[in-house]
Amino acid sequence: MEDYVTKKLQPIHHSNVNITGDFWRERQAVNRSATIPAVYGLCESTGRIDAFKLDWKPGKPKMPHHFWDSDVAKWIEAAAYSLANQPDAELETRVDGVIGLIAGSQQADGYLNSHYTVVEPEQRWSNLRDMHELYCAGHMIEAAVAYYEATGKRTLLDVMCRYADYIGAVFGPVPDQKHGYPGHEEIELALVKLYRVTGEQRYLGLSRFFVDERGRQPYYFDIEARERGEEPQDNRGQDYFQSQLPVREQTTAEGHSVRAMYLYAAMADLAAETEDEALLTACENLWQNVTERRMYVTGGIGSSWRGERFTTNYDLPNDVAYAETCAAIGLVLWAYRLLQFDGDGQYADVLELALYNGVISGVSLDGTGFFYANPLDVIPSRYESHPELFRIPVMWPRRQEWFQTSCCPTNIARTLASLGQYVASVAGNTAYVHLYVGGDISLEVAGEQVRLTQVTEYPWDGDVRITVQLDRPAEFALALRIPGWCPEATIAVNGQSLDLEPLMCRGYARIQREWSAGDVVELSLAMPVQRLESHPEVSSNCGKVALQRGPLVYCLEEVDNGPNLHDISLPEDAELSVRFADDILGGIMVIEGEGVRRRLADWEGKLYRPFPSHIETVPIQAIPYCYWANREPGEMLVWIDERQCKITG
Amino acid sequence: MEDYVTKKLQPIHHSNVNITGDFWRERQAVNRSATIPAVYGLCESTGRIDAFKLDWKPGKPKMPHHFWDSDVAKWIEAAAYSLANQPDAELETRVDGVIGLIAGSQQADGYLNSHYTVVEPEQRWSNLRDMHELYCAGHMIEAAVAYYEATGKRTLLDVMCRYADYIGAVFGPVPDQKHGYPGHEEIELALVKLYRVTGEQRYLGLSRFFVDERGRQPYYFDIEARERGEEPQDNRGQDYFQSQLPVREQTTAEGHSVRAMYLYAAMADLAAETEDEALLTACENLWQNVTERRMYVTGGIGSSWRGERFTTNYDLPNDVAYAETCAAIGLVLWAYRLLQFDGDGQYADVLELALYNGVISGVSLDGTGFFYANPLDVIPSRYESHPELFRIPVMWPRRQEWFQTSCCPTNIARTLASLGQYVASVAGNTAYVHLYVGGDISLEVAGEQVRLTQVTEYPWDGDVRITVQLDRPAEFALALRIPGWCPEATIAVNGQSLDLEPLMCRGYARIQREWSAGDVVELSLAMPVQRLESHPEVSSNCGKVALQRGPLVYCLEEVDNGPNLHDISLPEDAELSVRFADDILGGIMVIEGEGVRRRLADWEGKLYRPFPSHIETVPIQAIPYCYWANREPGEMLVWIDERQCKITG
């Protein structure tokens, strides 16, 4: 397969998908009406917007912090995606105003950073390891591309091209250039976007320079530390920054998980743009390590709050899980890019898993409360009595409207606003449908403009009806994803059942035929409640199961099940059924069943006693994990004790 | 019951018990031959001994640390107990030499502290909260009493009486005295010992002053902080020091667990000496809280390494369990004192539990490797790859010969050397036997000198044969403890079985008769393997059992069971048998049985998959927890998944 590395699929622009299914339509509406205004308000009130006025002076409050620019950039990006979906003159005016401030803050040489320009102007590029300069530049480039694509307005794009050109002069392989790379990756994938929208090869080259330079010895972060007069290593180690090895030699996901995801996403981009097989192979090795060893069942990654990072294989503690919202978003970004190479459904499976679970668990249903960390096992009473003993504040099980390091709220906002991009791709004469969200998908396949209208109650129900609209009959293939979680699927075209097995290719059912307007494909994905186990080396989950139905992982909440969730166990033969509860959380599918638990009354005055004690059956009700912490505070638990087993082998 | 608070039992001096049973005899021999010399060597090489020469100067290495004196004191105390058991001229000479240095370091006013005298002489008593001055004094008083009792030599006793008198002048209720109390309790119980050996009421009064003053508002630690020009509160909070409330009002065990134990032990002492019912009631409330809510199944207490402290009810995580060795020793000290009031076996049960498990797990079989923390669930690979991510160094699962704060090694040494004191007590005409250790117990009961000779293989076997020796027949009661763990016991005197039930009183079988020389009591304690559950609110143990046999809690080690111990589970009907394995660890009783676990091979490339997967039966072998970490390093686990249950109620 000599064209192995060739990216075959072309993603569609998010604005070509109009999502109408309730699940995501409501999330997008709240994102537009509540989240985007709220995070703007906080960027504004915390001084992040005014920072671009460059009027801060020592002694004044609200000193521009070195990552503030990135929050404003992600807000602009979110707003741009939202404007592309739905015009909003007031929002556009507001963005234009902010862009005016940003443009005004650009220095004569093209430099643009609200922290360094006013706080330590002599220190530019002196600490790539810790100071997020290139990271901020990357996010602002992404914002510029998004806003240009949404509105056609070039102001910010031109500003960021000038800045990128300046960065390209400072960094590069020539002896008098800096051979550095960012401590927090991000600009690498942003430069690929800038290349794609401008066609300027130099941006692609700069991205590749940053990626290739990373991990070379002697380590740049050590060199620059010595230049600052510091000891070369800080206590984080090179692996914290994914700079322990050249990226092509890396096989395990190490260090800060958001940084890792942004790097890996850029590696996938570069592999596609430059047909670099070694980069793709590295991506695949890292993918295998992440998804087979280091990923929560929710798609959360980066299990330790110390360093917000990956730790070791199978180290996935539930109670102290960090699983940062931004890291799950990063996993979506990476999976999305790998999916485009070959249309391999394993990437779409993880993309979907993360989106429906570990990403949107990070935002409340009203759009204004966020989680930075997304644990899978919470007992709030511990925090309440001794908050200092358990976890850092960012991990307290209370949604917060903002954080000191506030990457997650704006990241959620831009993700939800651009959700359409993940729904479909085109590869030559094949239209791929990755996600079933309800709505209209416009795409060009086999030279024809085609509209696919999805009607579905997904994720509550696995029936999907797709109506094909096109001007004249045309032969092409429709490749419909059969999710990895689905044990049984049926498919029919215009009422006629198809034999699925011969159609299957890498997780997609590929229906090749001459399509005419009004053709109807009916896909039915069986969506039983499944009990998942995890690998025997995941010590925290041994003897436990997680409930999953369709793409949704479920959890128990105290408000439904009483306290001491850990003592609930599921007998192996307990039947689990589903019910659409329209009175809960705006209407969700709950899983109901009978569990068992011990009687507290039997334990009065005892801490330990001989097994077995009496147990009693109790009704249990599980809700989707992504809905947790939207009612009264209490315990939450994903992995539930499974109390029986049969020796089968 | 107006004499409720009267202490009825009189403990016997440890030197009246000659332990000959293998289990403890070997521990005591190693303590004498290895531990006591080794900890002396480390006190010496680290500068703790020479510190008393008072020749340290700024800029020199080995600045005397503010808790160094306590380590030397505990070494002297251990040596004294050892000398009382077995004379050793060389050791005695060495102790005399150290005492000479200590005596020479006493100041003209009686003050004695190697840190303050040379490092910050102007700062005496300025920071009781943090600086361990009174704690060091307390340990040195205990050492002085022990050495005087062992040898009749008064040098250190006189020195410490002078120091105690000076402390009594500085602290007290009179307006120009300081109304303070120690940040780390210890001197309170030491002053009771000093009172008992000297008969001087003023030492008892000073102890009571410290105990009564604690927790009064305004808080002394805040007052002295302001006097130092500091903000009154540090981030630990008053409860860290058990000073949040007057001690009589405290109902939950809070804060640093070693400090708490030493305080509670002193409260029990004072309750006994002063017949203070409110103090005893406070002890009982705190006892209930500790033993019914906050104690590991090993007798370990203080679950969090942050603050080495108690946290909340039922918060007993196994992997990050702190359960400091010294805290388990403190629990023994407290239980021992409460046991003497009424001869209530619940105190002896916990004393025994802690001794056989959470205390001696803290020292290696060769006597020179120590654990500060005693977790119940260890996966060393986590530490090895990312030690910085998991726990503080003191919690690494490797035995160490010493620690920066090295309280545990010397505490173990003094505990093992004085073990005999816990074996028996006398109350009027009743001789209580609390522990079955094998050996000779000399005591006076009903005016007669009685020797009880225990022959037993305890804790490996529950048969105990006690031969009574006395000069002439005498009527008295022999109260033999029937341990709380024992489901069935039989007892016979001179071959004649007794009906146990009418003899039972608070956990002891009380045999009142006229005893003659050569009378033989045969006690048989059934010692089945028991599976223990813990209270449903102990989230970390739900669905799990711990194996216990007799007083010993068992654990799985990787060396016997392979890695991934967490994936082993015990079917409810799995039979568990015992075998004396003379080839393991010098000869121990192991528990054997059949567990089940999943096959790793089935999981190649999978992290999550639908339940159930195949499982297979595997032989398992458990060893006593107190023997863990004496062979090759690896995983260890106490709480094992229990995989089946029946609905019985």
Per-residue model confidence as pLDDT tens digits over B312-346 = 999 999 988 999 999 999 999 999 999 999 999 99
Looking at the structure, do residues A497 and A562 belong to the same domain, yes or no?
no
N-term to C-term CA, chain B: 40
Give the separation between CA A204 and CA B593, rounded to whole angstroms: 63
- Residue A235 to residue B646, Cβ atoms within 8 A: no
Looking at the structure, do residues A468 and A562 belong to the same domain, yes or no?
no
- Residue B542 to residue A596, Cβ atoms within 8 A: no
Interface test mutation site (partner A, options B608, B616, B639, B647, max chain A beta carbons within 10 A): B608
Would you list the DSSP string of A18-79?
EE-SHHHHHHHHHIIIIIHHHHHHHHHHTTTTGGGG----TTSSSPPPTTHHHHHHHHHHHH
Give the separation between CA A420 and CA A13, rounded to whole angstroms: 7
Which of the four pLDDT bands, split at 50, 70 and 90, describes residue B649? very low
In a domain, B628, yes or no: yes
% of chain B surpassing 90 pLDDT: 90
pLDDT at residue A306, rounded to an integer = 82
In a domain, B348, yes or no: no
pLDDT at residue A392, rounded to an integer = 59
Q: Where are the beta strands (DSSP E) in A438-587?
A: 439-445, 448-456, 463-470, 474-481, 489-493, 496-498, 504-505, 508-515, 520-525, 529-534, 544-549, 552-557, 569-570, 576-581
B383 vs A contacts (CB less than 8 Å): none
Chain B: give the shortest CA distance to residue A314, in Å: 9
Looking at the structure, do residues A535 and A620 belong to the same domain, yes or no?
yes
- Residue A309 to residue B389, Cβ atoms within 8 A: yes
3-class DSSP state of A466? strand
Chain A: give the shortest CA distance to residue B300, in Å: 13
B642 to chain A: closest CA residue:
A643
Any alpha helices (H) in A343-499, and if so which ranges? Answer: 345-354, 380-385, 387-390, 407-417
Looking at the structure, do residues A488 and A547 belong to the same domain, yes or no?
no
Which candidate, B306, B376, B352, places its Cα nearest to that of B538?
Answer: B376
pLDDT at residue B320, rounded to an integer = 85
- Residue B614 to residue A567, Cβ atoms within 8 A: no
- Residue B612 to residue A293, Cβ atoms within 8 A: no
pLDDT at residue A648, rounded to an integer = 45
Tell me the whole-structure pTM to 2 decimals. Answer: 0.95
What are A473-505's pLDDT values in tens digits?
999 999 999 999 999 999 999 999 999 999 999
Give the separation between CA B325 and CA B410, rounded to whole angstroms: 11
- Give the CATH number for residue B459: 2.60.40
Chains A and B form CB pairs within 8 A to the count of: 192
For the cut 70, the answer to whether the pLDDT of residue A234 exceeds it is no
- Residue A388 to residue B235, Cβ atoms within 8 A: yes
A439: region left, alpha or beta (phi > 0 left; psi from -120 to 50 alpha): left
Looking at the structure, do residues A514 and A598 belong to the same domain, yes or no?
no
Q: What is the mean pLDDT of residues B376-397?
A: 71
- Residue where one domain finishes, among candidates B525, B551, B583: B525
Q: Which of B382, B538, B597 sits opposite A536 (nearest CB)?
A: B597
- Residue A532 to residue B385, Cβ atoms within 8 A: no
Residues 6+ apart with CB under 8 A from B647: A571, A596, A615, A616, A617
Interface test mutation site (partner B, options A534, A535, A564, A600, max chain B beta carbons within 10 A): A535
- Which amino acid, one-letter code, is at A72? V
Give the H or E element holding residue B226: helix B220-227
Q: Which of A352-356, A571-575, B415-419, B434-438 has the lowest mean pLDDT?
A: A571-575
Chain B: give the shortest CA distance to residue A426, in Å: 29
Looking at the structure, do residues A505 and A535 belong to the same domain, yes or no?
no
Give the separation between CA B299 and CA B290, rounded to whole angstroms: 10
Looking at the structure, do residues A548 and A614 belong to the same domain, yes or no?
yes
Chain B: give the shortest CA distance to residue A531, in Å: 5
Phi then psi dihedrals of residue A527, to 5 deg = -130, 60
B602 to chain A: closest CA residue:
A535
- Residue A569 to residue B235, Cβ atoms within 8 A: no
B291 vs A contacts (CB less than 8 Å): 607
A291 to chain B: closest CA residue:
B607
B297 vs A contacts (CB less than 8 Å): 608
Residues 6+ apart with CB under 8 A from A3: none
Distance from CA of residue B489 to its chain's centroid? 27
- Residue B615 to residue A649, Cβ atoms within 8 A: yes
- Residue B567 to residue A539, Cβ atoms within 8 A: yes
pLDDT at residue A304, rounded to an integer = 87
For the cut 70, the answer to whether the pLDDT of residue A38 exceeds it is yes
% of chain A surpassing 70 pLDDT: 96
Residues making up chain A, counted from first to last:
649
- Residue A315 to residue B291, Cβ atoms within 8 A: no
Cα dihedral sign, A13-A15-A21-A23: positive
Place of tokens 């703790």: B48
Any alpha helices (H) in B309-406, and if so which ranges? Answer: 325-342, 345-354, 380-385, 387-390
Residue B139, CA distances (Å) to B72, B126, B143, B486 in order: 9, 20, 6, 37
Judged on CB neighbours under 10 Å (0-12, 13-18, 19+), A221 is buried
Interface test mutation site (partner B, options A235, A292, A386, max chain B beta carbons within 10 A): A386
Q: Do the Cβ atoms of A591 and A622 come closer than 8 Å?
A: yes
pLDDT at residue A209, rounded to an integer = 98
- Residue A533 to residue B235, Cβ atoms within 8 A: no
Q: Which of A293, A307, A614 sits opposite B389 (nearest CB)?
A: A307
Q: Do the Cβ atoms of B94 and B187 come closer than 8 Å?
A: no
In a domain, A137, yes or no: no
Which candidate, B365, B331, B369, B303, places its Cα nearest to that of B624?
Answer: B365
Q: Which of A607, A642, A643 sits opposite B535 (nearest CB)?
A: A607
- Residue B603 to residue A642, Cβ atoms within 8 A: no
Which candidate, A613, A568, A606, A639, places its Cα nearest to that of B545?
Answer: A613
Parent domain of B556: 529-641
B594 vs A contacts (CB less than 8 Å): none
For the cut 80, the answer to whether the pLDDT of residue B20 exceeds it is yes
Q: What is the dihedral of CA B293, B297, B301, B304, to 10 degrees?
A: -90
B291 to chain A: closest CA residue:
A607
Which candidate, B92, B109, B108, places its Cα nearest to that of B100?
Answer: B92
Q: Which of A539, A567, A648 sits opposite B615 (nearest CB)?
A: A648
**Token couple for A585:** 């959380």
Looking at the structure, do residues A443 and A536 belong to the same domain, yes or no?
no
B288 vs A contacts (CB less than 8 Å): 605
- Residue B648 to residue A612, Cβ atoms within 8 A: yes
Give the H or E element holding residue B469: strand B463-470
For the cut 70, the answer to whether the pLDDT of residue A51 exceeds it is yes
B388 vs A contacts (CB less than 8 Å): 235, 306
Chain A: give the shortest CA distance to residue B321, in Å: 13
Residue A73, CA distances (Å) to A35, A39, A156, B207 in order: 15, 12, 10, 65
A532 to chain B: closest CA residue:
B610
- Residue B603 to residue A297, Cβ atoms within 8 A: no
B309 vs A contacts (CB less than 8 Å): 389
Q: Which of B306, B537, B644 sits opposite A645 (nearest CB)?
A: B644
B545 to chain A: closest CA residue:
A611
- Residue where one domain finishes, among candidates A525, A542, A577: A525
In a domain, B47, yes or no: no
Any alpha helices (H) in A426-495, and if so which ranges? Answer: none
pLDDT at residue B394, rounded to an integer = 64
Which candidate, A101, A130, A132, places its Cα nearest to that of A115?
Answer: A132
What are B593-610's pLDDT values in tens digits?
999 999 999 999 999 999
What are A609-624's pLDDT values in tens digits?
998 888 899 999 999 9
β pairing state of A569-570 and A640-642: parallel
In a domain, B370, yes or no: no
Which of the four pLDDT bands, split at 50, 70 and 90, describes residue A5? low
In a domain, A604, yes or no: yes
For the cut 70, the answer to whether the pLDDT of residue A210 exceeds it is yes
A385 vs B contacts (CB less than 8 Å): 311-312
Q: Which of A205-214, B78-87, B611-620 has the lowest mean pLDDT?
A: B611-620
- Residue A531 to residue B315, Cβ atoms within 8 A: no
Looking at the structure, do residues B571 and B503 belong to the same domain, yes or no?
no
- Mean pLDDT (chain B, rounded): 95
- Number of domains making up chain B: 2
Looking at the structure, do residues B506 and B536 belong to the same domain, yes or no?
no
- Residue A534 to residue B309, Cβ atoms within 8 A: no
Q: Do the Cβ atoms of B621 and B595 come closer than 8 Å?
A: no
A613 vs B contacts (CB less than 8 Å): 533
Q: Which of B389, B608, B647 sits opposite A615 (nearest CB)?
A: B647
Q: Do the Cβ atoms of B168 and B237 come closer than 8 Å?
A: no
Chain B: give the shortest CA distance to residue A624, in Å: 18
Q: Which of A236-245, B77-86, B354-363 has the lowest mean pLDDT?
A: A236-245
A600 vs B contacts (CB less than 8 Å): 536-537
pLDDT at residue A235, rounded to an integer = 66
Q: Buried (b) or exposed (e) across B599-610, using 16+ Cβ within 10 A?
A: eeeebeeebbee
B548 to chain A: closest CA residue:
A610
Which of the four pLDDT bands, split at 50, 70 and 90, describes residue A644? low
What are B102-150's pLDDT values in tens digits?
999 999 999 999 999 999 999 999 999 999 999 999 999 999 999 999 9
Question: Which residues of B are known catalytic residues?
Answer: 308, 407
Looking at the structure, do residues B630 and B537 belong to the same domain, yes or no?
yes
% of chain B surpassing 70 pLDDT: 96
A297 vs B contacts (CB less than 8 Å): 608
B533 vs A contacts (CB less than 8 Å): 598, 608-613
Q: Do the Cβ atoms of A265 and A286 come closer than 8 Å?
A: no
Any alpha helices (H) in B275-344, and if so which ranges? Answer: 277-293, 325-342
Q: What is the CA radius of gyration of chain B?
A: 25
- Residue where one domain finishes, among candidates A480, A502, A525: A525
Which of the four pLDDT bands, split at 50, 70 and 90, describes residue A151? very high
Which of the four pLDDT bands, split at 50, 70 and 90, describes residue B648? very low
For the cut 90, the answer to whether the pLDDT of residue A394 exceeds it is no
Question: Which residues of A are known catalytic residues?
Answer: 308, 407
Q: Which of A304, A537, A641 sits opposite B389 (nearest CB)?
A: A304
**Token couple for B279:** 């103090």
pLDDT at residue B398, rounded to an integer = 84
In a domain, B78, yes or no: no
Phi then psi dihedrals of residue A501, to 5 deg = -55, -50
Give the H or E element holding residue A201: helix A201-213
In a domain, B414, yes or no: no
What are B549-589's pLDDT values in tens digits?
999 999 999 999 999 999 999 998 889 999 999 999 999 99
pLDDT at residue A647, rounded to an integer = 46
Looking at the structure, do residues B587 and B498 belong to the same domain, yes or no?
no
Give the separation between CA A327 and CA A372, rounded to whole angstroms: 10
Which of the four pLDDT bands, split at 50, 70 and 90, describes residue B647? very low
Q: Which is more confident, B269 or A379?
A: B269
